[in-house]
Chains A and B, each alone.
Chain A
């Protein structure tokens, strides 16, 4: 997948790289690693030119591939040590760092076991140890929690968070698991068909979708009509309605409407869109345009078009 007019600035800290299959995530990672020559344009990673200083970039980046990248016949300690030697570390230093890295990723007790006897979670941890052996400034983690059970996944996410917060390293995390991206990253970059679809802080991007969700019993249509009459933006699916959170006294207004039409509100709570919702919305509606979180916040109504199907009163086709 070719990247086109991709102009982005990734800040220090944790950034999630999102996009559907074929969006250009792998191409983007290879470009960052200096393995693909850009036909036009330029870029720098950690101050190095991606076109001419690929080796220097790779010396300062730790890459954790998505797929198996370990020799199953080797034991973990020697595999990690060898990955350090491939960076140019002295064998003795590489061995010391291999011990420290494996301890950090929770494999201190298993470091002399052959990798073929490892579970998926342990293999992922070993790959992470290979990536951090030289204490890189930027760690690229490609689907780090893919295929892990709940415990291993939790540990991997915690480890990445610690690496960012305690180790003060930057992480670029490509993942399909939005929940994990949300936990680790502060910012996201969304790619779609080789273009930048959106980028910005997750908190800002999610703010556009704040709504109040109510569950109604009896008189739902009347209530919907009454709320719309008062200028509220309502999405409805059966008895569940979501009202855009645009005014401070929204809950009072909703209750007033319900009282007027005699509808029962059985449940009311604030609904915050997940990153997954946001991803789907942007992919569906904004895929071809570059939108920063500022763009999305400045034109929330046009940007959202979230919604329930048209026959339910939503804006989407």
Chain B
């Protein structure tokens, strides 16, 4: 048997079959004719009506009640008649497609095209002939985007809890300035010695452990650094940066600067306000300012070191993550965890060496040296703490740079 004879008919190539007899439509009994008056009522109009004559009122046709068709038994039975006929669906087909005769006028069957009612959206490509600004403007855009996002809509969307916490911490950081002002108002010298500007209070404003370095600054840093880089990885927005003329250094540098500036507003700006309040409220002269300014500068440098350290560690954690939770918790764990561990070791073994692993303690030790306040770390020099701080920052920046340089533009 040849292949040709053995071909299985395809669905679309059915062999010709005998035409099926088309079922004749069942005659459906039509309802009886409405009884129409045989002689229609007409208005007699005479063409030869003389114009001058007073027009006769036109006799209005008396409305005849429309005779209702008397429903005979036959018409009532009509639906029943269709039920008796075989169900062919033909009536519906005729409704949809016209009669089965095929004699319809095409014009009757053609669907009416939709009338054009104007175009609401017209796509027009608008060229732009402007000049792009240089590198500093691009960097300023990144900085502005992050810093203004704290107070203004349309920039980086910081979370509402973050914004609220920043406001709370800002005012809480001004507590010493407020109490100094209060001391000047009530004129209580003992109250002033407790809260006014002095070596210990300037140190305490920046590097005091409780509450500032437990409840304020580490949490602020954790909230800020959490999503700064990790969310670019999460949402793929790194492509938005790197497909623009922005290099990795500018990207990470401006993000770093943004986070540092926001922390500086809370830590250093409030320190400056505290110092200014003392000068204004107590009318301090140049002699006092010259005396205390080195201490103020020492506290300020301590604050700068704190901001740099917390930002470096935090951004390094942010760069290895795709969410903001891990970097935030990680930063808090490093700052407070190492401190707790060092306290335990000191209490158990009377050894302070583990404080070198704690970023906060290293900052505090260096800060004490800068402000020249009473040191609380006796077993080693502050230079060890400074070296440890430098090492911590170097490691964090290395991680940060290597992670950012490996960020993809096409896929993250």
Contacts and interface: CB of A to CB of B under 8 A. Distances in A.
B242 interface: yes
Contact of B4 (A162, A163, A220): A220
Contacts of B141: 82, 85-86, 88, 91
B409 A87 contact: no
Given A221-B2, A239-B10, A65 B410 contact: yes
A130 to B, nearest CB: 7
Contacts of B244: 58-59, 83, 86-87
Most chain B beta-carbon neighbours within 10 Å: one of A83, A88, A89: A88
A85 B144 CA distance: 10
Interface stretch (A185-193, A211-219, A268-276, A278-286): A211-219
A250 interface: no
B13 A215 contact: yes
B7 A239 contact: yes
Interface string B397-412: 0000000000001111
A12 interface: no
A26 B410 contact: yes
Interface in B119-165: 121, 123-130, 132-135, 137-138, 141-142, 144-145, 154-157
A277 to B, nearest CB: 22
Nearest to A93: B130
B247 interface: yes
Contacts of A100: 126, 128
Nearest to B7: A239
A72 interface: yes
B286 to A, nearest CB: 43
B409 A30 contact: yes
Interface stretch (B52-60, B196-204, B232-240, B309-317): B232-240
Interface string B197-216: 00000000000000000000
A182 interface: no
Contacts of A59: 132, 244-245
A69 B409 CA distance: 9
Interface string B276-296: 000000000000000000000
A70 B4 contact: no
A195 interface: no
Interface residues of A, number: 61
A183 to B, nearest CB: 16
A110 interface: no
Interface string B163-182: 00000000000000000000
B235 A68 contact: yes
B64 to A, nearest CB: 58
Contacts of A70: 235-237, 240
A71 B237 contact: yes
B125 A72 contact: no
Contacts of A86: 138, 141-142, 240-241, 244, 246
A34 to B, nearest CB: 9
Nearest to A261: B4
Contacts of A91: 141, 144
A29 interface: yes
A204 interface: no
Given A29-B410, A73-B157, A215-B13, A166 B125 contact: yes
Interface of B: 2-4, 7, 10, 13, 121, 123-130, 132-135, 137-138, 141-142, 144-145, 154-157, 231, 235-247, 409-412
Top-7 shortest CB links A-B: A167-B125, A85-B141, A55-B245, A63-B243, A73-B157, A135-B128, A88-B132
21 contacts: A30-B410, A54-B245, A58-B245, A65-B236, A65-B410, A68-B236, A71-B235, A78-B155, A82-B145, A83-B240, A88-B133, A88-B134, A89-B130, A90-B137, A104-B125, A106-B123, A134-B132, A158-B123, A162-B125, A167-B127, A266-B13
